[in-house]
């Protein structure tokens, strides 16, 4: 009896953990922007998938980058920004702001790496990014098509089928009684 109760408690804990992770992954996927980056309000979750940012950040790190207002980004700041060119495979760059041009109160343009970048494509400052080592690797697996399928879709499908079977069995046993 005690062993059965412990088993039920462990099962409930695993289901609760799965539910929290499944909801978080689903929210991350629903919060993708046009560059396939999860954005929550002013925070972007960047997954480092190369070693180009070493030694500051390593491959597999998860960066939480806060979007700064245009007034807080100045010449000389190192920033992350989206590449708006359609022919490029790289969607996120980082470099130093060379020039800042305020078009009006709500629009600013930056010159970064000799390219004109609209303020709406700036993700945030490099030095304000918070890194979580190796978390990016796990998040990228979970938010991939296969990861989402095995983490969310299959378990949910199995739970639904199991519940249908239990309802049918209960209905049969009540009918036979």
On the 0-12 / 13-18 / 19+ scale of CB atoms within 10 A, 39 is middle
3-state class percentages of the chain: helix first, strand second, coil last, to nearest 5:
45, 30, 30
pLDDT of residue 50: 82
pLDDT of residue 85: 67
pLDDT at residue 53 is higher than 90: no
Q: What confidence score (pLDDT) does residue 27 get?
A: 95
Higher pLDDT among residues 53 and 165, named by residue: 165
pLDDT at 89: 66
pLDDT score of 87: 60
Q: What is the pTM of this model?
A: 0.78
pLDDT digits (tens, 9 = 90+) for 80-137: 998 866 666 667 888 889 988 888 877 888 988 888 888 888 899 988 899 999 999 9
Q: What is the mean pLDDT of the chain?
A: 88
Most confident of 21-35, 65-79, 106-120: 21-35
Any idea of the CA torsion for 72, 76, 80, 81, to the nearest 10 degrees? Answer: 90
Q: Are 30 and 76 in contact (CB under 8 A)?
A: no
* Percent residues over pLDDT 90 in the chain: 47
Residue 20 scores a pLDDT above 70: yes
């Amino acid at each position: 009896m005690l062993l059965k109760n412990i088993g039920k408690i462990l099962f409930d804990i695993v289901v609760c953990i799965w539910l929290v992770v499944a909801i978080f992954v689903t929210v991350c996927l629903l919060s993708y922007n046009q560059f396939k980056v999860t954005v929550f309000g002013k925070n972007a979750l960047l997954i480092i998938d190369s070693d180009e940012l070493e030694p500051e950040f390593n491959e597999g790190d998860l960066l939480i980058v806060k979007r700064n207002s245009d007034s807080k980004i100045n010449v000389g700041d190192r920033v992350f920004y989206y590449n708006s060119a359609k022919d490029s495979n790289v969607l996120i760059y980082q470099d130093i702001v060379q020039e800042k041009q305020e078009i009006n109160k709500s629009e600013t343009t930056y010159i970064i790496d000799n390219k004109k970048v609209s303020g709406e494509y700036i993700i945030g400052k490099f030095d304000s990014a918070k890194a979580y080592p190796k978390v990016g690797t796990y998040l990228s697996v979970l938010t991939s098509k296969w990861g989402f399928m095995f983490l969310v879709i299959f378990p949910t499908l199995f739970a639904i089928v199991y519940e249908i079977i239990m309802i049918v069995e209960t209905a049969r046993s009540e009918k036979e009684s």
